[in-house]
Structure 1
Amino acid sequence: MRLENITIGQVLLQRLKTMADENAFEYRDAFYTWRDLDELSDVFAVKLLKCGIKYDTHVAIWGGNTPNWIITYVALAKIGAVSVLINPRYKEEELAKTFEYSDVEYVCYGDCCSNSKNIIDHLNDRNIGKVKEYMYMGKNEHYREGRAQILKNLNPSDMENLKKAENKVTPQHIASIVFTSGTTSFPKGVMLTHYQLVNISREAVEQMKWETGDRMCMSVPLFHCFGLSTGFLASLRVGFCIYLLPELHTSCILKCIHKYKITILNGVPTIFLALLSNPERRKYDLSSLKSGIIAGSKVFKEDYLKICKELKFKKLQQSYGQTETSPCVTFNGYDDSMNIKCISVGKVIPNVKIKIVSTKDGHDLGPYESGEILVKGFNVMKGYYKCTRQNCEKVKDGWLYTGDIGYVDNCENLYITGRKKDIIIRSGENISPVEIEEAILRYPGVLQVKVFGIPVPVVQEEIAACIVAENGKLDVDGLVRYLKKHIADYKVPKYIYIFKKFPMNLNGKVNVKQLKKEVQWKVSKEEDYDFNRTASTD
């Protein structure tokens, strides 16, 4: 595939030439055409310019999968502002840290939760970092009301200023800062260009053979690189319609597939496994499903085969990547056998290289030799924002050190066998144990803490926290309440165990392997496994 040197805004112009009045996306039974997206993003872009937002201004988008998220994203891309994509489940302290770190000057927010407005008001009172203004993105159901009059009110000078701003944007300009947890205590901002996002989305379309007549259910969040690149931007590339969900629950996904005859469903393994577990699944007609990407975390062979069989997927392709690679690195071949698809993440995409190196001395390894996966190509990030040391460690001579462990076979198929650092992956979310440990250590009475993931059904990993407390006692319910005030709910450990002391290695470090064994044994004894439970005590 020949790489294209164009911007996100220019891709939209291409779409308007032939499909201006075709549906681009749907939300709550309301459809928006490509012309709607262009005009509404023009209106918002003019508003942004008048507020002082310009080329290279950092603007956060804090909201769920809604039309206004997409409109805001495109408006920012048009004028060359850098969109800083924020998890809608973040709470006040997480938002404050993220805004400060990423030098956000403006925040576009939606109705993320019941108290979104209160959170924004508190942040506004605190004068966070460089933030100048918080801008409400509006109620999606009423966004188009009065649009014709608004368009008439846009005077020639407004449109001229918008055109000047658009002409300044280049493909090599940073389009977005997307966050990845990695293994540090605070998420790092990955800088991705228009060029990278545009070409990765195009590659996904090519690999998956998606067409104009396809219909995609957006079951992954847009603030994730997965949802952005292989979801919305892929639809922008080829022109198929995407269907946005009010909530990312399996019941909503099933209804959407049934009602709109969805042909494409992307997701992390957890989503597909949860669909299989939904007791109402057989009430819905899912026969329209044709293809999809399963990625974000490891899928076991048995689970992959079960998903394909039960959901009758014709082409469910594994893909490997990271936020740092925009995110795609490999895809299963479209016509690969099921024997390969169920165990391999496929071959490297065009214009990208991979190699496997020894974790001990860094020398190149051959087929079937397991080591760290390195990636080089157009998709590799421009770097972590304001993280000079981490950038030097992560990218060397153009090679991205992924931290993932794997090997290739004689046919150059890649297999993932583990990860260098113990990131917890729960429902496709990368979660830093260190961040949770730091939060727990701030709670009175905690002396030591160790956090890690343990394998469980459906969500793949649950978070377990092992704590050494003063006098061997701790108010676990109080700790949970405390954590829910300071970190997102999905980061709160499901299992909390109190220890008198931790098992130690001869070198004086905590014996994590032994600790995990003890926790897994404790969990196995809890026969009434309940996915809504928050914590268990020893």
Structure 2
Amino acid sequence: MELKNVTIGKILSDKIEKMPDKNAIEYENVFYTWRELYDISDRLAIEFLKYGIGYKSHVAIWSTNSPDWIVTYLSLARIGAISVLINPNYKENELIQILEYSDVEYVCYGKLAVCNDIVSCLKNKKIGKIKRYIPINMATDLKDDGTFSISLEDMEKLKKAELKVTPQSIASMIFTSGTTSLPKGVMLTHYQLVNISIEATEEMRWTEEDRMCIALPLFHCFGLSVGLLASLYKGFCIYLLSKFRTTCVLKCIDEYKITLLNGVPTMFLALLNNSGRKNYDLISLKSGIIAGCTVFKEDYLKIQKELKLEKLQQSYGQTEASPSITFNNYDDPIAIKSVSVGKVISNVDLKIVSTEDGHELKAYEDGEIIVKGFNVMKGYYRLPEQNSKKITKDGWLYTDDIGHVDDDGNLYITGRKQEIIIRSGENISPKEIEDVIIRYFDVDQVKVFGIQAPFVQEEIVACIIANCGKTIHIDNLKEYLKKYLADYKVPKYIYIFNKFPLNANGKIDVKKLKKEVQLRIG
């Protein structure tokens, strides 16, 4: 693939020239054409400029999926602002940490009740560099109003702002969890996000006549790059859901004859387990990407067979790589696609290296996966020490994932160096949860990890030692955790121990602890 030196705004303007009246988005039975999307983004971009938002301004988008989210994102991209994409499930404490770390100046928030409630509280506090909170409802309001008139003076200001934006400008800051309790902000450019979206459309052979149901959250790199931006490049219509609900997805596929569906393994498995699935016609489904976390061979085969998704392609990546690193070849046999995440994408190099001394390993030898190419992030925001550990001076990104390649270059993921928990496609830091639990009264020690589970891939377990002579009530602890953690981070299993098993160097023996937990679960 030949890399294109263009911005997100340029890709959008191309749609106006080639297919202005073609539908771009459907949401709750309302369609938006590419022309409407562009015109509304004109108006919103100008409003942003009047607020003082401009090139390199840090602007949070805190909302569930909606046309307003999309118009806000595109408008910010056009004027060169950096969109800071925030999980709408964050509670107040988590949100404040993210806003302060990422130097957010403006917060664009959606209609979700929790957003409005928390914003009301935040407005009464001095938080970092925040200057203004902006409700986003421009897409809905202007669609209803139908007027898009803009003065020549305002249009000139917009054009002037757009000229400052280059393909190498940072487009977005997207968060990923690591071994530290605070998520890290990954800085990605227009060039990286656009070219990953192009790569996906070419690997998957998508066309402008396809129709994609997007239930993946847009604040995740997966939903953004190979969902929204892929449609922006190729021109197919996306049918947007505010969040993933199996019945809504099934209804969408049936009603709109959806051809493309991307998701994490747990999403596809949930569709299979919907008791009403047989009532919907899913024959239109043609292809999709399954990624975000490891899918077991048996699950892949079941999904592929039951949904008749012959071109269900595995892909491997991470936010730090924009996010795509590999794709199954389009015509790979099922025997390969069910166990391998495919070959490295064009314009990117991949190696497997020893975790002990860093030398390159041969085929079938397990080691750490490292990659180098256009997709490698510009770095974590304000974390120079983390950056030096993650990316070498000559550009190699160390993924912390363990795997090997076969003789044909197909990659197989076999584990990961760190203890990150992956639950329903969400990367969850055990330390973040441990940091909250340890503050609960009468907790002496805590260890958090994930255990394999059906449908969600991993469930969160918290093992706790209470202070001597004290009693911890599990239900009370869970209520406490819900105040400080998003619901998906609250452990499903919490067990009290008298002591933890230790290894020879005095550290907790996690393998033994997991075995004890499995015995308790039964």
- Scaled by the length of structure 2, the TM-score of the pair is 0.98
Which residue of 2 is the match for residue 7 of structure 1? 7
- Amino acid across the alignment from 1:465: A
Are 1:465 and 2:462 matched, yes or no? yes
Are 1:250 and 2:246 matched, yes or no? yes
Are 1:201 and 2:193 matched, yes or no? no
Work out the CA distance in 1 between the residues paired with 2:282 and 2:2.
Answer: 36
Which residue of 1 is the match for residue 451 of structure 2? 454
Which residue of 1 is the match for residue 390 of structure 2? 394
- Amino acid across the alignment from 1:429: E
Which residue of 1 is the match for residue 22 of structure 2? 22
**Conserved? CA contact 1:178–1:223, under 8 Å:** yes
> What secondary structure, in the 3-state scheme, does the structure 2 residue paired with 1:166 have?
helix
Percent of residue pairs bearing the same amino acid type? 64
Residue from 424, 427, 441 that aligns with 2:424: 427
User: What per-residue deviation string (whole Å, max 9, x for no partner) do you get for residues 310-344 of structure 1?
Assistant: 00002000000000000000000000000100010
Work out the CA distance in 2 between the residues paired with 1:157 and 1:188.
Answer: 40
Work out the CA distance in 1 between the residues paired with 2:337 and 2:503.
Answer: 40
Work out the CA distance in 1 between the residues paired with 2:219 and 2:63.
Answer: 8
- Pick which of 469-478 and 265-274 moved more: 469-478
> What secondary structure, in the 3-state scheme, does the structure 2 residue paired with 1:453 have?
strand
Which residue of 2 is the match for residue 405 of structure 1? 402
Are 1:68 and 2:68 matched, yes or no? yes
User: What per-residue deviation string (whole Å, max 9, x for no partner) do you get for residues 478-537 of structure 1?
Assistant: 11111111110000000000111111112111111110011112112xxxxxxxxxxxxx
User: What per-residue deviation string (whole Å, max 9, x for no partner) do you get for residues 11-65 of structure 1?
Assistant: 0111111111100011000000100110001100000000000100000000011
Work out the CA distance in 2 between the residues paired with 1:514 and 1:419.
Answer: 19
Work out the CA distance in 2 between the residues paired with 1:60 and 1:177.
Answer: 9
Work out the CA distance in 2 between the residues paired with 1:147 and 1:104.
Answer: 32
Which residue of 2 is the match for residue 523 of structure 1? 521
Deviation at 1:115, TM superposition (A): 3.0
Work out the CA distance in 2 between the residues paired with 1:523 and 1:288.
Answer: 41
Are 1:302 and 2:301 matched, yes or no? no
Which residue of 2 is the match for residue 367 of structure 1? 363
Residue from 229, 241, 252 that aligns with 2:225: 229
- Pick which of 467-476 and 300-309 moved more: 467-476
Which residue of 2 is the match for residue 475 of structure 1? 473
User: What per-residue deviation string (whole Å, max 9, x for no partner) do you get for residues 277-298 of structure 1?
Assistant: 1111111111110000000000
User: What per-residue deviation string (whole Å, max 9, x for no partner) do you get for residues 132-176 of structure 1?
Assistant: 00000028654422241xx22x21110000000001100000000
Deviation at 1:256, TM superposition (A): 0.6
User: What per-residue deviation string (whole Å, max 9, x for no partner) do you get for residues 211-265 of structure 1?
Assistant: 0110000021000000000000000011000011133111111111111110000
**Conserved? CA contact 2:63–2:115, under 8 Å:** no
**Conserved? CA contact 2:88–2:115, under 8 Å:** no
Which residue of 1 is the match for residue 135 of structure 2? 136
- Amino acid across the alignment from 2:423: R
Work out the CA distance in 2 between the residues paired with 1:111 and 1:336.
Answer: 43
> What secondary structure, in the 3-state scheme, does the structure 2 residue paired with 1:418 have?
strand
Work out the CA distance in 2 between the residues paired with 1:313 and 1:508.
Answer: 49
**Conserved? CA contact 2:6–2:167, under 8 Å:** yes
> What secondary structure, in the 3-state scheme, does the structure 1 residue paired with 2:124 have?
helix
- Amino acid across the alignment from 2:323: P
- Amino acid across the alignment from 1:156: L
User: What per-residue deviation string (whole Å, max 9, x for no partner) do you get for residues 112-134 of structure 1?
Assistant: 3x332120011111111000000
Are 1:278 and 2:274 matched, yes or no? yes
Which residue of 2 is the match for residue 382 of structure 1? 378
Which residue of 2 is the match for residue 157 of structure 1? 153
Work out the CA distance in 2 between the residues paired with 1:176 and 1:140.
Answer: 21
**Conserved? CA contact 1:295–1:318, under 8 Å:** yes
Q: Aligned pairs, how many?
A: 520
**Conserved? CA contact 1:375–1:400, under 8 Å:** yes
> What secondary structure, in the 3-state scheme, does the structure 2 residue paired with 1:144 have?
helix
- Scaled by the length of structure 1, the TM-score of the pair is 0.96
Which residue of 2 is the match for residue 498 of structure 1? 496
Which residue of 2 is the match for residue 487 of structure 1? 485
Which residue of 2 is the match for residue 355 of structure 1? 351
**Conserved? CA contact 2:188–2:377, under 8 Å:** yes
Backbone CA RMSD of aligned residues: 1.0
Work out the CA distance in 2 between the residues paired with 1:115 and 1:405.
Answer: 38
User: What per-residue deviation string (whole Å, max 9, x for no partner) do you get for residues 331-378 of structure 1?
Assistant: 000000001000100000110000000001111101011100000000
**Conserved? CA contact 1:440–1:449, under 8 Å:** yes
Which residue of 2 is the match for residue 341 of structure 1? 337
Work out the CA distance in 2 between the residues paired with 1:109 and 1:278.
Answer: 32
